[in-house]
Amino acid sequence: MSLHQKAAFVLTAAFLLSVGINFTLFYSGLVPNFVKMDPDPAAQVSLNEETDQLADLARDWAGWDDTVAFMTARDQGYISANLPFESFLENGLNLIHFYDHDGALIWGKAFDLGAREEIWLAEFPQDGPPLQDTLIRFEETQSPNAGLMATSAGAMIVAAAPIGDLANDGQVLGTLVMARTTEATPMAPPGAGGLTTPPVSAEDQAAYALLLSFVASSLLVGIATFLLLRASLLAPLSRFTQQVLGRRAPSFGATIERHDEIGALARALSTGHAPRQGNGGEQVDSTPEAPLTLAEALADALRRLPSDCKGKATLTIDQSLETAPAVQAPLGELTQVLCRVLEAAEASIAQSGRPDGQIQILSKSEMDGDRAMLRLSIMDNGSGPAPAAHLQRSAGRVENWAGRLYVAHSSGPQTGERQSNVTHLLLPVAA
């Protein structure tokens, strides 16, 4: 499996793991909780009815003649007769406030009915209009404002009705506000005058749980992805880099057995140390050159040929290689060059379609000026394209060893058709 395939496998596994975790968390934990939080239709109808009833009560009191007279004359007898604690208790009201047309509080009280104690709500201050002053703004006669309001005593049903002679001129003299807590919401402790922190709702708790589950699952998937990438890619690359740089002994061991690019590179370098970049950017060997025989390098190259390049042609090695002098070249790079030359010869025969493909290898000593050289000639009878284009990088390597690599071909005596390719490798003889 190549590195690309391993990376794709790890990322796909991480994605599927993330989907699986989120699916499990969502459908096993969150969905049932949301189902439990689904409002009871009967309770919703009851709340709507209670809101309508409070709005009707506020409208009746606001349109009562005595209330209209109180807003005009501010008669304290109205308060004594109609607004004792018993009136709050009898009507189930926690708050009654009277405001004039400008929003100033004329009279108002609030009680904890269970504790029979007067309380103060921050949303309905004693020295001004309610914090939500739009509740009491009636520019002309209209229906009461009613609904739920979050207060320091918990959720309350609030109704505000305009006070005035609605049957005649419709002049608005002020606003009557009534409020009561719902049965499910307890009152604040007696005497609590400041804001109290309302409890976190079940919906908020579910939202927090959903957010935390996504964060936790993402963290787990991230850790799993990192561990998989580290085990399959990062750690092997780190070990291989240390081996190549010589921080460990140059034995690639199990790395060669990998079936990916790391293994392929390890096999290519296993016969010598890793090349490094020279000052001009060219590849040079990182270890001193040592004398070696071409027979040794050729045998190693034949072992490392890809399986699809073997068996396509008959290989003949001349006996001259057995007595050929040693040459001065790095074994690892020379093996790679020979592999490339043999692969090019096999490709030439394969493209020609010849069933009788042959590759001949022979050597001879010669002089190049005052330098002793050894010529290795690899000839194939393929009529495919000459392999010179495939050997340009190898030719550059050979030049770094003070040698030469070039390709020649021979043609038929009459038609000019190419009959064979010959790759010549000239290497300096070791002193």
What CATH code is carried by the domain that includes residue 391? 3.30.565.10
Q: How many domains does the chain have?
A: 2
Instruction: Calculate the average pLDDT of the chain.
Output: 76
pTM over 0.85: no
* Residues 412 and 292 occupy one common structural domain: yes
Residue 163 has pLDDT above 80, yes or no: yes
User: How far, CA to CA in Å, does 347 sit from each of 9, 148, 315, 387?
Assistant: 34, 85, 14, 8
Q: Rounded to whole angstroms, how far apart are CA atoms 411 and 101?
A: 116
194-203, 214-223, 337-346: least confidently modelled range: 194-203
Q: Rounded to whole angstroms, how far apart are CA atoms 301 and 88?
A: 104
Q: How does pLDDT run across 408-419, given as a tens digit for each residue?
A: 876 654 444 556
2-11, 143-152, 262-271: least confidently modelled range: 262-271
Return the DSSP state at 166.
Answer: T
From 152, 175, 199, the end of a domain falls on: 199
* Mean pLDDT on 355-372: 90
277 band by pLDDT with thresholds 50, 70 and 90: very low
* Residue-level pLDDT at 107: 95
* Residue-level pLDDT at 345: 86
C-alpha torsion angle, residues 248, 251, 257, 260 (rounded to 10): 50
* Residue-level pLDDT at 259: 61
* Mean pLDDT on 49-58: 91
110 band by pLDDT with thresholds 50, 70 and 90: very high
Domain that holds residue 357: 288-428
Domain-located, residue 84: yes
- CATH classification of the domain holding 175: 3.30.450.20
Domain-located, residue 11: no
From 172, 199, 226, the end of a domain falls on: 199
Q: Which residue has the higher pLDDT, 145 or 275?
A: 145
* Residues 191 and 315 occupy one common structural domain: no
216-225, 239-248, 330-339: least confidently modelled range: 239-248
Residue 384 has pLDDT above 70, yes or no: no
Lookup: tokens for 126 = 């004693």
* Residues 314 and 182 occupy one common structural domain: no
Domain-located, residue 19: no
User: How far, CA to CA in Å, does 174 sit from each of 63, 107, 263, 342, 349?
Assistant: 11, 12, 89, 105, 107
| β-bridge partners, 145 | 160
Q: Rounded to whole angstroms, how far apart are CA atoms 112 and 125?
A: 16
Residue 201 has pLDDT above 90, yes or no: no
Domain-located, residue 239: no
Burial class of residue 144 (count of CB atoms within 10 Å of its CB; 0-12, 13-18, 19+): buried
From 142, 173, 199, the end of a domain falls on: 199
